[in-house]
Structure formats: structure tokens, C-alpha cells
């Protein structure tokens, strides 16, 4: 199968999200779709996969013009998209979801479906127990199920929108191996939207770059049989960044601040969890200090952060914040004392779909009983300006691109907190935006805020942390010296080699 997009246009009000896009995706190729936050990547992929119509333009499959409406019709034409938020049904098992989402719907025989499921699972080295409820699965496994479901439906083009945010390095390797095989052995087209340039260089045969709705470049990636030396990777990254932003970015280094007095102390804290055997954790965080938590997803770092924010129960040990024992406190009490928690799940926990940016601003206002909408609107505009959010104050949050939602989430944090506990603060942000968010966060550190954050991006951890705690299966190991730790070493440590 070959796909051609011709003169694709899509407008949202004044925004020209896709402006005359012309591109051809060829049989057996893995193509990266790159561009800064709000460039129009998701919009284009949703058009191709039938999730939204183009205003204008044609989709051609093997040089035939195809007119389809809706994702089911796109799948029938061989094009399937892995949504960023999986569409599966939580209470059902893996097998039930597979049957329910299959072509024959509920008429597919259980035994037959199970055979097909385990066949596909084994073929790609996935780990899916057909009888597990979906709720117990990792994000990566839900993706695996969705890929298998689309393959069983016979798609020949697979679109993945930021599939590696929130999955571990190990799971990413499994995913990438599967994608390589689908392209090489089955001639499938794989389209990958990603902000992680290393991933794109590693996996893709070629990339197309969007900027402000326009297609601004195409480039072949170094062949995978060639040695991907660090010099070659750095050079390719530089070229991609220049295409994405129209300029080169300066090397980022972390300014260092005076470390102040202790603000947060965890003493032999044991977090309550049924699945992980959490070991006691002791940690003292000082004003101005940045503590990075590393680890594969589900190794205990998320639980620890939530326990610190008083959202997760503790079994024993104590927590002190700003001189007070907060072991039994609620998050509300903590928040009033100046400790703020930022959740990773943008539209699940942090932001509320259906509310505008103005309404979000009102939610974090000091006095919620008497809202002065005029001043709230002004404040929303200031945030949009300051955080360079592409969107209007009256937009609903879900109208923003993923990266711009993340900026809004950071923009809603108070200006002078004593401590920030942040889950994956730069998840889904392009390189430039991620640096800019860190500049904002570090300004708060300079004024005395302490930060605890986690990330699956090892470079981010090494660049911005004063200290790093590595989590593995509920055990914790503190790096003796971050500045002398390489990304490779950190990679081994999060695999449990300590
Ligand atoms: N449903 C919508 N309503 C209004 N505007 C929208 C809608 N969907 C997208 N947009 C706007 O279109 C532009 C492109 O958005 P898109 O989601 O395609 O960006 P993106 O390249 O995927 O960005 P990111 O990397 O941040 O996910 C953005 O300015 C966005 O605000
Ligand atoms: Mg997007």
C-alpha cells in the first residue's frame, strides 16, 4: 500500500492547523512525523485515520482517491491509528476487549479469538494475559492490545501518536522491534508522531516536519545498518531541530542555586501498596533543590511521590514539611502550606475537559466563592502570553494540542510554592518547550522552591536533578554523584543493577 495526501487543509477558527499538506507515505517505510507543539501533527494523523474530516484535499491509496468517513471506514481501507488514550474498556479482560473490538464483534468465537490473540501476542514478543482485566495492565500493554486488535482487523498502515510517553525503555524496545518487523516483513507503513528525536532517529527511515500547519521539510534518517555513533546522532538531531524550529537551539545547562534549609523530610517511609514490596525510604529535600526520581514505570516512584503529596496511604514512617509533621495530613492541608502536586495525567487528573482556560484559571483562584470573571479572564490571558500557549482563553482545554495542554497545566501552578511534586512535567513537550518549562521551574527554585519530579527521559533527569533516586521493584538507590553519572549507567541502574 502507498498513501498520498494531496492539498490537505484544516482550519479551527482562525488557526490553519493543516495548510496545504502534500506528502506520500510508501510501502514498508517507517516515517516520523515531527514538529513543535501545535504544529498540526495530530490533526493530520486524525484526518488520515478518519477521526476528523479535512476541510479540503484528497487521500489517495495506491493512486485511487478514497473518500471515507469515520475511523471504522478508515480501518476498512487499511488505515488504523493508535490513540494516545486507549479506547479499551477497563472492566473487561484483554480477550473480551479483543473480541469486542474485532470485526465480527461479539459473534467471534471465544476459542478462536483466544487462539488468534495468543498467536499475535507471541509473534511480537508482547506480554498479554488474555484473562487479565484491562485495569491491571500497564499503558504499554494496552498499546500492545490495541496494535494486535488493529492487525487482526487487517490494517496495513499503523499510525502511532506519541506512543512512547509514559512507557518504560524496556517496553519501548519491544514496541520498536514489533514495528520494525511489521514494516520489513509485512510491508506495512508505520507513521510515528514523536517528540523524542533519539527515538525517531533510531526507528524511522525518513521524517516529515510540520511547522505552524505547513509541511516544511523531509529528510532520510541514517540507515540502521550504519553505525549510529553519538556524533552522527547529534548531527542528525541538530538538523531536525533546525527544521522544526527554523533555528538551532543553544546547548542547555542547568544553573545552580544555593541550597537552603531542609523543607521536606521523609523518614523511613513505607508506602502502602498491595502489589509492590515497598522498602523504607528516607529523603531530606532542601529549599532550591531538585530531586529526580528514576525508574521503570510502576517501580514505586509514582507511589512515593503520591505519598509525599498525601494522596497515597503510608504504612509507617513519617513525613515533615516546613517544620510540621504531615504524615496524617491531607493534600488540601499540604497545598495550603505551599506544597503543590502536578499529576501526569493531563486530561484525567490535572485538567478538566469541557472547561475553558478562563474557567481553569478560576479554579486555582484564591477566592472561589466570589469570582471576578473580568480579572480571571485577564489572568488567563497573562498565562497564555507568558507560557506561550497556542490557544485562546475561551477555548475548551481539549481543543489545545497535547503540548499546549501541558503548558497550561504548568501555567496553573502557583508562582511561589515552597515545594513542587511533579509527575513527568515535560511529558509530550517538544525540545524547545521542555527547556522553557524547566527555565520556569528553575526560576522558582532560585526563589527557594524545592522540586521532586519523575521522568522516563534519562537525559532530563541527569540534566536537571541535583540528586537522583533510582527505584526498582520498590527498592531505592540514591546516586552518589549525578554529575558523574552517564545516561548509560543510569539506564542500567533503572534495570535493577544496584
Ligand atoms: N478540536 C479543535 N478545536 C480547536 N482547535 C484545535 C482543535 N484541534 C486542534 N486544534 C488546534 O490546531 C493546532 C494544531 O493542533 P495539533 O493537535 O494538530 O498539534 P500537534 O502538532 O499535535 O501538537 P502537540 O505536539 O502539542 O501534540 C493547535 O493550535 C490546536 O490548538
Ligand atoms: Mg499532538
Its domain, for residue 8, covers 3-245
In a domain, 79, yes or no: yes
The number of the ligand 1 atom at minimal distance from the alpha carbon of 44 is 18
Structural domain ending residue among the three candidates 218, 245, 272: 245
Q: Are 470 and 295 in contact (CB under 8 A)?
A: yes
Q: Would you state the cell numbers that stand for residue 410, as one nine-digit string?
A: 504548568
Cα 97 to Cα 203: distance, rounded to the nearest angstrom:
29
The pLDDT of residue 44 is above 60 = yes
- Asked if residue 89 and residue 162 are part of one domain, the reply reads yes
pLDDT in tens, 224-267: 666 778 888 888 998 998 998 887 766 667 777 788 999 999 99
Q: Could you tell me if residue 347 is inside a domain?
A: no
R_g (Cα) of the chain, nearest Å: 23
Q: Is 37 in the pocket of ligand 1 (CB under 6 A)?
A: yes
Provide the mean pLDDT of the chain: 89
Give the pLDDT band (50/70/90) at residue 367.
low
**Which pLDDT band, with edges at 50, 70 and 90, does 342 fall under?**
confident
Q: CA angle, corner 57, sides to 55 and 60, nearest 5?
A: 135
Q: Tell me which of 395, 412, 429 is where a domain ends.
A: 412
For residue 105, pLDDT over 60 is answered with no
Let me know if residue 467 belongs to a domain.
Answer: yes
Protein residue with least CA distance to atom 12, ligand 1: 17
Number of domains in the chain: 3
Place of cell 501552578: 413
Over the stretch 456-473, which tens digit does the pLDDT of each residue have?
888 899 999 999 999 999
> Would 348 be classed as within a structural domain?
no
Residues 322 and 436 in one domain: yes
369 and 231 housed in the same domain: no
In a domain, residue 454? The reply is yes
Whether residue 485 lies inside any domain: the answer is: yes
Domain stop point among 225, 245, 265: 245
Ligand 1 probe mutation, 38, 85, 164, 389, most atoms within 8 A of CB: 38
Distance separating alpha carbons of residues 435 and 252, to the nearest angstrom: 7
Residue 34 lies in a domain: yes
Nearest Cα residue to 101 out of 111, 87, 112:
87
Closest Cα to atom 1, ligand 1: which residue?
399
DSSP E strands, 115-228: 157-161, 189-193, 206-211, 214-220
Give SS3 for 354: coil
C-alpha cell at 211: 511547522
Query: Going by CA atoms, what residue is nearest to atom 17 of ligand 1?
Result: 401
Q: What is the reported pLDDT for 161?
A: 92
Residue 343 belongs to a domain: no
Q: Note whether 173 and 234 are same-domain residues.
A: yes
Any idea which residue has 516515517 for its cell?
31
Do 97 and 181 have their domain in common?
yes
| Residue 25 sits in the same domain as residue 162 | yes
Domain match, 442 and 491 both: yes
- Identify the helix (H) or strand (E) that includes residue 105: none
Whether residue 187 has pLDDT greater than 60:
yes
For residue 206, the domain's CATH number is 3.40.50.300
Amino acid at each position: 500500500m502507498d498513501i498520498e495526501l494531496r492539498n490537505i487543509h484544516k482550519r479551527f477558527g482562525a488557526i490553519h492547523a493543516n495548510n496545504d499538506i502534500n506528502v506520500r507515505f510508501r510501502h514498508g517505510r517507517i516515517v516520523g512525523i515531527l514538529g513543535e507543539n501545535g504544529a498540526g501533527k495530530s490533526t493530520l494523523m486524525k484526518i488520515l485515520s478518519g477521526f476528523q474530516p479535512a476541510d479540503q484535499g484528497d487521500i489517495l491509496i495506491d493512486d485511487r482517491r478514497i473518500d471515507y468517513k469515520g475511523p471504522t471506514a478508515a480501518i476498512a481501507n487499511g488505515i488504523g491509528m493508535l490513540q494516545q488514550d486507549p479506547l479499551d474498556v477497563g472492566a473487561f479482560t484483554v480477550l473480551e476487549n479483543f473480541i469486542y473490538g474485532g470485526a465480527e464483534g461479539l459473534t467471534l468465537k471465544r476459542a478462536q479469538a483466544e487462539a488468534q490473540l495468543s498467536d499475535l501476542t507471541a509473534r511480537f514478543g508482547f506480554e498479554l494475559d488474555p484473562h487479565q482485566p484491562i485495569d491491571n495492565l500497564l499503558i504499554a500493554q494496552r498499546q500492545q492490545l490495541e496494535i494486535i486488535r488493529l492487525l487482526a482487523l487487517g490494517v496495513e498502515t499503523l499510525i502511532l501518536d506519541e506512543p512512547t510517553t509514559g512507557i518504560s525503555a524496556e517496553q519501548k524496545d519491544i514496541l520498536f522491534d514489533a514495528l520494525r518487523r511489521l514494516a520489513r516483513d509485512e510491508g506495512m507503513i508505520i507513521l510515528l508522531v514523536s517528540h523524542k528525536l533519539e527515538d525517531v532517529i533510531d526507528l524511522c527511515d525518513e521524517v516529515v516536519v510540520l511547522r505552524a500547519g505547513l509541511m516544511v521539510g523531509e529528510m532520510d534518517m541514517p540507515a540502521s545498518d550504519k553505525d549510529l555513533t553519538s556524533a552522527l546522532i547529534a548531527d542528525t538531531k541538530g538538523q531536525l531541530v533546525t527544521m522544526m524550529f527554523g533555528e538551532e537551539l543553544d546547548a542547555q545547562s542547568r544553573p545552580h542555586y544555593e541550597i537552603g534549609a531542609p523543607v521536606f523530610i521523609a523518614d523511613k517511609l513505607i508506602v502502602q501498596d498491595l502489589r509492590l514490596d515497598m522498602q523504607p525510604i528516607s529523603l531530606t529535600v532542601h529549599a532550591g533543590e531538585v530531586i529526580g526520581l528514576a525508574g521503570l514505570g510502576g517501580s514505586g516512584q509514582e507511589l512515593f511521590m503520591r505519598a509525599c503529596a498525601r494522596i497515597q496511604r503510608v504504612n509507617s514512617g513519617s513525613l515533615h514539611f516546613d517544620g510540621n509533621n504531615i504524615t496524617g495530613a491531607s493534600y488540601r492541608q499540604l497545598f495550603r502550606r505551599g506544597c503543590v502536586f502536578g499529576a501526569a495525567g493531563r486530561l484525567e487528573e490535572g485538567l478538566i475537559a469541557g472547561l475553558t482556560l478562563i474557567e481553569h484559571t478560576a479554579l486555582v483562584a484564591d477566592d472561589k466563592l466570589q469570582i471576578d470573571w473580568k480579572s480571571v479572564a485577564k489572568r488567563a490571558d497573562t498565562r497564555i502570553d507568558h507560557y506561550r500557549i497556542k490557544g485562546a482563553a475561551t477555548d475548551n482545554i481539549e481543543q489545545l494540542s497535547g503540548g499546549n495542554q501541558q503548558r497550561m497545566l504548568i501555567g496553573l501552578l502557583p508562582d511561589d510554592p515552597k515545594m513542587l511534586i511533579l509527575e513527568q512535567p515535560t511529558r509530550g513537550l517538544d525540545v524547545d518547550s521542555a527547556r522553557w518549562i524547566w527555565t520556569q521551574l528553575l526560576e522558582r527554585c532560585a526563589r527557594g522552591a524545592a522540586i521532586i519530579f519523575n521522568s522516563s527521559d534519562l537525559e532530563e533527569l541527569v540534566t536537571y536533578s541535583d540528586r537522583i533516586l533510582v527505584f526498582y521493584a520498590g527498592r531505592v538507590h540514591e546516586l552518589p554523584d549525578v554529575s558523574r553519572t552517564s545516561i548509560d549507567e543510569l539506564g542500567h541502574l533503572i534495570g535493577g543493577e544496584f
